[in-house]
Amino acid sequence: MLSYRHSFHAGNYADVIKHIVLIEILEHLIKKDSAFDYIDSHAGAGLYNLHSEHAAKLQEYTQGVGKLKTEQWPELATYFDILAKYNPAGKLNFYPGSPIIAQYFLRRKDRSWLYELHPKDAELLLKHAAKSRNIRVMREDGFKGLLSLLPPVSRRGLVLIDPSYEIKTDYAQVFNTIDSAYKKFPTGTYALWYPVVDRKIIDHLERKFKRSGIKKIHRYELGIAQDQFGSGMSACGMIVINPPWTLTDKMSQVFPKLVTALGGEGAFYKCDVLVGE
Ligand SMILES: C[S@@+](CC[C@H](N)C(=O)[O-])C[C@H]1O[C@@H](n2cnc3c(N)ncnc32)[C@H](O)[C@@H]1O
């Protein structure tokens, strides 16, 4: 039984870094005229009311997106444009999740495949995202679902894998799924989000990627404090396979600024190459 609801966490620092990496990849994909497929294996509800009972409980967005002022971030102009689209009055009331962010870039010829297992969130996602014929919402296991779509007909695509890791086997499953997916579609871009709750688990995941034979693996991680065991998530990151060539340069400019804006004592970032060409 799934108990995780993203509505408690929407707009937190993890969403900020996940979504700015996502946007940079999507911006790159639409530079070419040819169609692409966007596959979101763990899509969530799509749009979050930051004043809902859930969001108001922890108010995590106040330590994430709520700390960023539009005028100070010209390099994140598209991120703020998307936020503005859902907050036309200027005040931050709604936070768009990954499927809605992807929708912003979708052209008629592109397709979006959204998997969400939680019955309530799948229902909300249908309401928020599935208004166009090229968007499909599926209440199915996204790990299995994404494999069934590869390689996509377009032969161009981005797969976002963003589990909640409430099931400990998710750490093994994200690697096994990407390993299988890469064999079916080695030219696709894969973006995997991970939390750092116990550094040993992430070191292990990193070693598996390094030994996998998969090429072009980059990592973007932001820690809001030094690693600590037993007090929740102190850092999180994105592992991106086949990133656009601009991504690491861009994140290397943005992450130092984000560390100052979002981090506390001991905050750090990593923008590095785990496996080269
Ligand atoms: C971190 S949230 C996703 C947030 C979303 N990607 C975003 O950035 O806005 C993870 C979601 O995965 C869903 N989930 C968990 N296991 C799943 C599975 N095996 N397949 C599809 N969805 C799953 C959860 O219900 C939850 O809504």
Lowest mean pLDDT among 50-59, 65-74, 212-221: 50-59
Residue list, ligand 1 pocket, CB within 6 Å:
2, 4, 6, 18, 42-44, 97-98, 115-118, 121, 141-143, 162-164
Q: Which residues are bridge partners to 40 per DSSP? A: 114, 160
Domain 6-275, CATH: 3.40.50.150
Task: Please give the number of the atom of ligand 1 that sits closest to the Cα of 18.
Answer: 8
Q: What is the pTM of this model?
A: 0.97
Dump pLDDT digits (tens) for 4-27: 999 999 999 999 999 999 999 999
What mean pLDDT is reported for the chain? 96
Q: State residue 1's pLDDT score.
A: 66
| Tokens 């931050």 found at | 92
Dump pLDDT digits (tens) for 153-171: 999 999 999 999 999 899 9
Q: State residue 131's pLDDT score.
A: 79
- Domain range summary for the chain, segments of one domain joined by +: 6-275
Q: State residue 165's pLDDT score.
A: 95
Catalytic hit among 15, 37, 40, 162: 162
Dump pLDDT digits (tens) for 108-157: 999 999 999 999 999 999 999 977 889 999 999 999 999 999 999 999 99
The residue whose C-alpha atom lies closest to atom 6 belonging to ligand 1 is 43
In the reported structure, the alpha carbon of residue 265 is separated from the centroid of ligand 1 by a whole-number distance in angstroms of: 30
Pairs from 124-131 (Cβ < 8 Å, separation ≥ 24): 124/45, 124/46, 124/47, 125/43, 125/44, 125/45, 125/46, 125/99, 127/46, 128/45, 128/46, 128/47, 128/99, 128/100, 129/43, 129/46, 129/99, 129/100, 129/103
For residue 142, how many C-alpha atoms fall within 13 Å in the half-sphere facing its CB? 25
Dump pLDDT digits (tens) for 224-252: 999 887 788 999 999 999 999 999 999 99
Pairing mode, strands 37-40 and 47-49: unpaired
Is 162 one of the annotated active-site residues of the chain? yes
